[in-house]
């Protein structure tokens, strides 16, 4: 079955520290991979996406993610976290082989930032 | 102006009432979606539509219905609301391949 797991329900980091949010997927086809961020009271905003090519993807707000096919992972990273990065982060996976834009979302990781 | 808008933003209702959540978009996308978000479960797809005449059930469509009144409008209805439909509801649009654009959400509470 297709699934997306985010092993960390909640992470707390200090402002200025580095960040890595984990994402693993189980998908039978070549995946399209996404990271979305949800700030309090807001909808989801796309941070970055991977379709093909370079496995290290740069996104908005200083985020990057690396696709590792052998590990079925797509971890999100940021070298220095800002207080405004406190939010909920969702990993998602889709596929070119689906007949519609079906995207499966992970359960989310809540990020808290300590000043 | 926001590209995807949802009304209302918050709604409290009682068990058995009929509720309609509305979504409008100015992105010009044909594809529209309704999701619900529950803590620890991420987003789950309720219904999706590829155009006005093409509406499809998602993974959790029971208890919900939709109407695509125009390319820009996609409404979600709860015919007889029940407490376990208390959740945050999101409308989204997409233009292939797969990137989705979300509205701000509607927080629905069913008492």
Is A101's CB within 8 Å of B90's CB?
Answer: no
Q: Which two tokens stand for residue A48?
A: 């970055």
Name the one residue in this structure whose structure tokens are 């233009």.
Answer: B95
Higher pLDDT, B39 or B13: B13
Instruction: Count the neighbouring beta carbons within 10 Å of the beta carbon of residue B34.
Output: 26
Residue A92 pLDDT exceeds 60: yes
Nearest to A78 by CA among A100, A44, A48, A54: A48
Is A107's CB within 8 Å of B40's CB?
Answer: yes
How far apart are the C-alpha atoms of A56 and A26, rounded to whole Å?
A: 20
SS3 state of residue A15? coil
The predicted structure's pLDDT at residue A100: 54
Residue B62 pLDDT exceeds 90: yes
pLDDT-wise least confident of A14-23, B5-14, B99-108? B99-108
The predicted structure's pLDDT at residue A51: 86
The predicted structure's pLDDT at residue A101: 60
Higher pLDDT, A1 or A25: A25
Is A42's CB within 8 Å of B104's CB?
Answer: yes
Higher pLDDT, B62 or A99: B62
pLDDT tens string A62-81:
999 999 999 999 999 999 99
The predicted structure's pLDDT at residue A98: 55
What does the longest C-alpha to C-alpha distance in chain A come to? Answer: 46
What pairing do the DSSP bridges indicate for beta strands A87-95 and A109-114?
A: antiparallel
pLDDT band at B50 (very low <50, low <70, confident <90, very high): confident
Cβ proximity of B92 and A90 under 8 Å:
no
The predicted structure's pLDDT at residue A2: 77
pLDDT exceeding 90 applies to what percent of chain B? 82
Q: Among residues 28-47 of chain A, which lie with CB inside 8 Å of chain B?
A: 32, 34, 36, 41-46
The predicted structure's pLDDT at residue A103: 82
Cα atoms in the 13 Å half-sphere on the side-chain side of B52: 6
The predicted structure's pLDDT at residue B34: 96
Is A32's CB within 8 Å of B41's CB?
Answer: no
Q: What's the mean pLDDT in A23-41?
A: 87
Cβ–Cβ pairs < 8 A, chains A and B = 58
Picking from A42, A102, A105, the nearest residue to B42 by CB comes out as: A105
């Amino acid at each position: 079955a297709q699934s997306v797991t985010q092993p960390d329900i909640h992470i707390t980091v200090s402002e200025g520290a580095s960040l890595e949010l984990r994402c693993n997927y189980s998908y039978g086809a070549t995946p399209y991979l996404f990271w979305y961020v949800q700030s309090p009271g807001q909808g989801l905003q796309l941070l970055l996406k991977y379709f093909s090519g370079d496995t290290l993807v740069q996104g908005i707000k200083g985020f990057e993610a690396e696709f590792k096919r052998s590990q079925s992972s797509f971890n999100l990273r940021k070298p220095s976290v800002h207080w405004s990065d406190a939010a909920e982060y969702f990993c998602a996976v889709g596929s070119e082989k689906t007949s519609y834009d079906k995207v499966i979302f992970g359960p989310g990781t809540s990020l808290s930032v300590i000043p | 102006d926001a590209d995807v808008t949802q009304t209302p933003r918050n709604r409290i209702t009682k068990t058995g009432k009929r509720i309609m959540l509305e979504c409008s978009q100015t992105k010009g996308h044909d594809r529209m979606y309704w999701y619900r978000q529950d803590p620890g479960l991420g987003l789950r797809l309720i219904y999706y539509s590829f155009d006005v005449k093409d509406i499809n059930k998602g993974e959790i469509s029971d208890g919900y219905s939709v109407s695509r009144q125009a390319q820009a409008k996609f409404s979600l209805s709860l015919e007889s609301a029940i407490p376990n439909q208390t959740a945050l509801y999101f409308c989204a649009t997409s233009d292939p391949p797969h990137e989705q654009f979300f509205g701000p959400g509607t927080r629905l509470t069913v008492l």
